[in-house]
Structure 1
């Protein structure tokens, strides 16, 4: 029986996928797998029993990825599972940034007790007049699962869409409408578009990317949407651009003290993936990926170890999964550990990702467990080995 612990409430659509080989436990120390959403894990001590952590969502800043890698714990996320929910909110934000919807609602509430509100609104509404998005230029920064869906939806709404992503994958390119213009220089996108929406992870090259320079090259009256990460936008630069009238509005899903003080900022309480459907999709994807790893050794959508399709388990024999450092001579040492016990390797697959690597070995015989495991554990750089 494999024990699974849920650090957060996880949708039943996900946990119901667990077969009779699994049991939910309240004790994380007994768990082979942990399902998590937003719970902070950096201060947690991990049991030697723990083999996998699956985040029901895309962001993994609540998980100590490097420490997990060194302890032989594979961390999964669920990219794209909540993409439709975020896409729909971004489309809503386009409307909020083009029409005086929020301001109009606030005016109505302020005058709710006025007996003449029905008459007065005909004069007042002029100050909330906006513009239509039809025919306007939208710049999409980042063309992953969410960015591609936003771009396609905007094309369908009649917008002229420009996309920037120097690392766009083949899969994302296939998913995108051919009507999306591919731009290779960020400044060209910023200076061309009436609306800009950001869909990139917060990493060294993207944190603070919307800075003073970026704001200065944007079109006068542009609208910036940020439904990705709050740290992608330099708050001081954005506040100055809004106060000066350079930018028309900033719409973000991240409420921080700095953003709440900005003029012409529309701030939402992190609603991007907060739909029942998105939570269900993320939970199902997280559970399936964790089960595939625990049962078959295959890795899909890990954020600290390489993807590896191990294929079906041997019908007779054993599969050995080794998590290790990505260093020279490692594969040779692993193979030698089997050879010295007279065990023939039928198939071996190895993948690496940065400093971390993963090797799956199929045997056509039962694994002489204690002897080979002892040899594997004696290899410097081997973090964890298990037999399936």
Structure 2
């Protein structure tokens, strides 16, 4: 029985043809994705689901997808797919991370011009029979300073186009190295410096816990008076209420938005302002981009369904069928170690070194290194995956070293990550025991023995009597239950660390209380 794929969004007919040429039955139902009940009722008959942004692949849909092996998103963002639910179901989720980069970058540049010259308002006025030549006094782009928040693939293309327009370009990106910044011609700065100096700010970062409302009321207050804001990335990066106030009082000179906190944006308060240009999430909407991502996702899904090859998967690395049973537990270990580093790091990482010792060193470790790198990058770039992580690291100038050697410890296999940052090195090590579960063994030179849990607390503190009691007391008063408690220290009275698994999220007020405990150097929540 040949594999069967459902296309539940509008996709180029060329994609349907690719599936059929590869011996895959393809049902083209472009309106189905908008009706979650109909989608849930139909999904059980399919091995693959090809989507764009209209289809929401929820846990309820996945629960009824007994045959489903792969979801392919024609585009970058996979926030309309429940990744944890898909992973638990054993469903690979793929995307096309580079298919619409140029198109989205060009739209940001187009919005910058539209904003600078009041083109939408001038067009509407002229078509109404008015000739208000003196009303629409624009500004030149040449000589202005563009601040790019997020200098990955799309941000770098925007920077390149802006440099061609004789603009100065500042870039804020925790994973952009000085060498990469010099190579693409931008000045790497911190966020406050960018806010203070930019005439135009363009956002090109994913939406996650670290970037939500990155342009908050406080951030907007730090900008130059008259600054113009452009967002073609994700709704939620800008505090829309704060932006409206800043536009109304003239501190922000104008905004051009392609994305909104709530979409479809039918009734947004920003629509009433004359100094705001809005488009309905058109960043990837060109014929070339849609054709490209449709062909890419059809090829990727076909390769997986007919040959078992995995590419651009957001929840699984590239591993052959023969290697998977041996490497899968170590893939999970490497990814969790990287995720730990990425959440602990207080600034960008310049170099990541991954060392494999013992039996695991004799396996194909490239997938493990990619998994570690993806984990480390994920707190900032939530759409990164083990396939795309090496390319993302390369474009940011992040150096990755891999070392394999004979066992030098008591463990059959050991994986060690060392991340070099401006604040110093972060070192973590772990292994996989015979039960197949990843274990954390060391942080720095401090021995710990901890299982990874979905919700954890990490603290660094001075080794003082009474600390554990005060720590546990604070959690108890907040009704936060401790599942496991792993401790370690370098010497009596020296530096100590704790990894605490808890049942559920930690309230922000309790986290603040933990940070205020005597001797605490760092206290953060971790998600795995």
TM-score normalised by L of structure 1: 0.75
Name the structure 2 match of 1:293. 304
Deviations 1:28-76 (A, max 9, x none): 3232211101212214134232111010011112111110011111111
Aligned to 2:18, the other structure's residue is in SS state coil
Aligned residue among 24, 29, 53 for 2:44: 29
Kindly provide the CA deviation profile for residues 260-318 of structure 1, in whole angstroms up to 9, marking residues without a partner as x.
2445211111111111111111112212222333344443322222x3254xxxxxxx7
Instruction: Tell me, yes or no, if the aligned pair for 2:170 and 2:188 is still in contact at 8 Å.
Output: yes
8 Å Cα contact 2:70-2:301 kept in structure 1: yes
In 2: Cα distance, 1:301 partner to 1:59 partner? 12
**1:139-163 Cα deviation digits (max 9, x unpaired):** 1111122111111111111111111
CA shift in 2, pair 1:173/1:292, >3 Å: farther
Residue 226 (structure 1) aligned with residue 231 (structure 2): yes
For structure 1, which segment, 60-69 or 291-300, has the greater mean C-alpha deviation from structure 2 after superposition? Answer: 291-300
| CA deviation map 1:115-172 (0-9, x unaligned) | xxxxxx3xx31220111101111011111221111111111111111111112489x9
Equivalent of residue 41 in structure 1, options 52, 57, 70:
57
Residue 348 of structure 1: CA displacement?
6.0
Secondary structure in structure 2 of the residue aligned to 1:126: coil
What is the alpha-carbon distance in structure 2 between the residues aligned to residue 62 and residue 227 of structure 1? 17
Instruction: Say whether the 8 Å CA contact 2:22–2:302 is kept in structure 1.
Output: no
Give the corresponding residue for 1:338.
Answer: none
Gaps of 5+ in 2: 29-41, 334-361, 376-384, 387-434, 438-528
CA 1:130–1:288: 2 relative to 1, 3 Å: same
* Aligned-partner SS, 1:230: coil
Q: 1:181 aligns with which of 172, 187, 199?
A: 187
Report the Cα distance in structure 2 between the residues aligned to 1:167 and 1:299, rounded to whole angstroms: 26
**Does residue 142 in structure 1 map to residue 186 in structure 2?**
no
Would you say 1:157 and 2:159 are equivalent positions? Answer: no
Contact 2:176 2:188 in 1 (8 A): no
**CA 1:253–1:178: 2 relative to 1, 3 Å:** closer
* 8 A Cα contact 2:24 2:302, kept in partner: no
State how far apart, in whole Å, the 2-side matches of 1:380 and 1:291 are. Answer: 31
**Residue 102 (structure 2) aligned to one of 81, 84, 92:** 84
Aligned residue number for residue 16 of structure 2 = 15
State yes or no: 1:319 paired with 2:325: no
Change (3 A) 1:100 1:280: same
Contact 1:239 1:263 (C-alpha < 8 Å) held by counterparts: no
DSSP-derived class of the 1:94 partner: helix
1:79–1:20 CA distance, 2 compared to 1 (3 A): closer
Farther off after superposition, 6-15 or 231-240? 6-15
Distance 1:57 1:6 in 2: 14
- What's the counterpart of residue 93 of structure 1? 111
2:83 aligned with 1:56 = no
User: What 5-or-longer segments of structure 1 have no aligned partner?
Assistant: 113-120, 311-317, 329-345, 359-378, 382-388
RMSD: 3.1
Q: Quick check: 1:214 aligned with 2:215?
A: no
CA distance in 1, matches of 2:323, 2:186: 46
Higher relative contact order (CA 8 A, sep 6+): 1
1:67 equivalenced with 2:89 (yes/no) = no
CA distance change for structure 1 residues 278 and 178 in 2, over 3 Å: closer, same or farther?
closer
The count of residues paired between Structure 1 and Structure 2 equals: 324
Residue pair 1:15, 1:283 contacting (<8 A) in 2 also: no
Matching residue within 245, 260, 267 for 1:240: 245
Distance 1:149 1:235 in 2: 26
Q: In the alignment, which residue of structure 1 is the partner of 2:283? A: 272
Contact 1:140–1:162 (CA<8 Å) still a contact in 2? yes
203 and 169 in structure 1: CA distance in 2 versus 1, 3 angstrom threshold: farther
In the alignment, which residue of structure 1 is the partner of 2:7? 6
| Superposition deviation, residue 107 in structure 1 | 1.7
Alpha-carbon distance change, 77 to 211 in structure 1, aligned in 2, over 3 angstroms: same
Aligned equivalents of 1:260, 1:202: Cα separation in 2: 22
Using the alignment, how far apart are the partners of 1:241 and 1:14 within structure 2? Answer: 45
